[in-house]
Amino acid sequence: MIKFIIPAVIIFLIVLFWEKINEIIYNKFNIKINYIGILFLLLILGVILLLLYF
């Protein structure tokens, strides 16, 4: 049960604080968050699929 709750909570927090995360990363690194967001989304989906597999 925990392997389903933890990724859901992480995704919820990312969605909730997306604007703040976007602003912090843009100020520090001067890059658009879209590429990092897509990479992070794929990573999260990969983790979820691995958890479902095992």
Enter the DSSP assignment of 20.
H
Residue 28's identity, in one-letter code, is K
Give the pLDDT score at 43. 92
Q: How many domains does the chain have?
A: 1
Give the pLDDT score at 45. 92
pLDDT band, residue 36 (cuts 50/70/90): confident
Each residue's pLDDT tens digit, 2-35: 888 888 898 899 889 988 888 888 888 887 777 7
Each residue's pLDDT tens digit, 37-54: 788 889 999 999 998 887
Domain extent at residue 31: 2-53
Give the pLDDT score at 46. 92
Instruction: Note whether 7 and 44 are within 8 A (CB).
Output: yes
